[in-house]
Amino acid sequence: MNERVLILEDLDHIKKLLCSYLEQDHYTVFSAGDGREGLKIFNEVRPNLVITDVVMPYMDGFSVCRAIKSDEQTRLTPVVLLTSLDDNESYIKGMESGADDFLVKPVNKFLFLARVKALLKVKRLNDRLDNSWSLLFSLAKAVEAKDKYTENHTNRVGEISKQFGLLMGLSPEMCDSLFKAGILHDIGKIGIPDSILNKTDKLTAEERNRIQQHTIIGRDICKPLNSMKDILEVVYCHHEKWDGTGYPNGLKGNDIPLMAQIVSIVDVYDAVTSDRPYRQAFPKEEVREILQEESGKSFNPELINFFIKKILDGISDYKRAN
């Protein structure tokens, strides 16, 4: 095995014992005696798994765990907290820090190795998922690059959707999904000819039908992410309308998934506040009129009113600042 495990433990006899268990199972092992040194080694070698004692000099295990989990680049690295404190308060604090598992001293060798094996398997699966995201994000950017006037459109939709979700009080996980869904929402346009996407004249009925297929194409492209049901629903449903006149399925009202409703609003907002080859961005008051006119038609009235209050009026320069 070439999987790397980092052990952080200030008691030498325990550190040596755990390292010997892992080395016998052919893992590459790194170790440190305190959290500060441990984080330095972590950043140098980027291990696949971290096992850290809770009580250590300079920096405790909870702080180490928070540092790893707060970094977007390392948050999927499993962290196991090793403690002699078998109490609810420690477990709660560990969970709040983002810990993936707990082991209580003295450690049983076979349970220890079984936990290590299971967590490394999860890490491998997460790495594959991350690779899938990278591929899909690159594809979404390739779609955007077809038209210089939509440059950074998907990133703005993702950022503003996430910000809107936070203002609504949605969970951090949902807000993260909103960001990803915003970036991927138009990925299906990769399957639509440029002659249709970039046409400035009125579309024919056949061309309109063709462009509407991008929601179905996008859903099919994103099927490797079938564990991310909410994101797939946004890609598929972001052109559904509150009054049931949208596509692809004519969903009505709250039959439309909430995240798709949010991205739909932000998608239109970004379109009307961005320059196009045939017009300039609309001024704020016209944007307000456009959004209000679609209340009860394209958009959930409560949701669009909240959006106007919090985004258009509250942080109207958010899009351009990012």
Please indicate whether residue 121 is annotated as part of the active site: no
- Interhelix angle for 109-144 vs 153-168, to 10°? 130
Strands (E) located in the chain: 4-8, 28-32, 49-53, 79-83, 101-104
CA nearest neighbour of 273 among 229, 246, 311: 311
Write down the number of H helices and E strands in the chain: 15, 5
Are 107 and 82 in contact, with CB atoms under 8 Å apart? yes
Sheet of 101-104: strand order equals 28-32, 4-8, 49-53, 79-83, 101-104
Contacts of 22 (CB under 8 A, 6+ apart): 5, 7, 29, 113, 116
DSSP characters over 102-126: EEESSPPHHHHHHHHHHHHHHHHHH
DSSP characters over 97-108: HT-SEEEESSPP
Other beta carbons less than 10 A from residue 175's beta carbon = 19
Identified catalytic residue from 93, 189, 241, 319: 189
Looking at the annotation, which residues are catalytic?
A: 189
